[in-house]
Structures are given as C-alpha cells and as structure tokens.
Amino acid sequence: MSKEKAKVENIVDTEVQTSELAAIVGKTPQWIRQLTRDGVLKKYGRGKYLLGESIQAYCEHVAGGKEEDEKPRLIDFKTALEKTKAEKAELELLRLKNELHVASDVEALLADLILTTKSRLLGVPSRIATECENETADVVEAIVRRDIEVALSSLAKYTPDKIGGEIGDGISKDN
C-alpha cells in the first residue's frame, strides 16, 4: 500500500509542459498561458506546471473561485439565477391558475368598484327626493334604506374571477 501512495504523491508532484496540461484539461496551450497571466495557474519553470496543483487550481477556477474568497463565485450567481427562474415559473403558474393576480389589475378593479358604489350612493338623494315629498319619517327612512341597499348590492354581486379582465366585468351594472 505504501508503494501506491508514493505513486500518487509522485503524480501530484509531476511537472508537465504547457501542451500536456492543456491536453489534460481539454483546452489549448494558449488558454493555459492566459490562465497563467490571469494568476489562476502558477508556473514552476519555463512552460512547466506541477500537475496536482494546476489541476486543483483549474477546477477551482471552473467552479467559480475559492469558497473562502470574499468575492462571489460564478456558481453562486448561477444558483441564484436558477432559483429566481424557478420562483418566476411558480408565480406564473399561480397566475395562470387564477390563484395570483397582478396588483395593477386588482387596483383597477377595486377603483372601479369603489367609484361605481360611490356614484350610486351619491345618486340616492336625487332619486328619492320626489318619492319622499310629504312622507312621514318612517317612510322616508324606509325609502332611503331601500335605495342605499340597492346601491350597495353591486358590492354583493362582485365576482373576483373577473380580475385581469376588462374593468367593470366583476361588477354587476344592474340599477
């Protein structure tokens, strides 16, 4: 067993030429020289690299850098991007299932609902003015209550399944 371990240590400490290292990692010698200029790989003589150290450095480079470095790694960005894509797909699915609505659609629908109810309530006095002439307080109260209930009935007839459709689709326009 000690002979096998000695062989492994010898392979790790083996010096290789630029072209040999390029063949091992599947890149060109120009690529290896560029990584050397960038400080990713370290030469140990003219065009020579320690095989084990160079392979480890190249693997770290491909993975996006050392984990203990303060700067973010490429793999971290890719992971965050994939997570964001998954969240976006999930939200889109909920929207397609009509379980999630765009805020602007909800705001527009509620604004239309409020404006319709407001206009109906503000129209109550002019509609009942002639009806209430020469009536007792009980009759006037009943007439006002009836008209307010009719004006508010649009709120009871509101259907949330119309969000995202045309404004006013979710509000009954009876009366």
Cα gap 109→115, rounded to integer Å: 10
**pLDDT value of position 150:** 83
In sequence order, the 6+-apart residues with CB closer than 8 A to the CB of 33 are 18
Q: Decide: helix, strand or coil at residue 63.
A: helix
**pLDDT value of position 172:** 43
Helix (H) or strand (E) holding 9: helix 2-12
Q: What is the pLDDT along the chain (175 residues), one digit of tens a residue?
A: 556 665 556 777 788 888 898 998 898 999 888 989 988 888 888 888 988 888 888 888 877 666 655 666 667 778 889 999 999 999 999 888 888 888 888 888 888 888 888 888 888 888 888 888 888 888 888 888 888 888 888 777 777 666 655 444 444 444 4
In sequence order, the 6+-apart residues with CB closer than 8 A to the CB of 131 are 143
**pLDDT value of position 101:** 84
Residue 65 is encoded by which pair of tokens?
């850098």
**pLDDT value of position 5:** 61
**pLDDT value of position 84:** 94
**pLDDT value of position 149:** 86
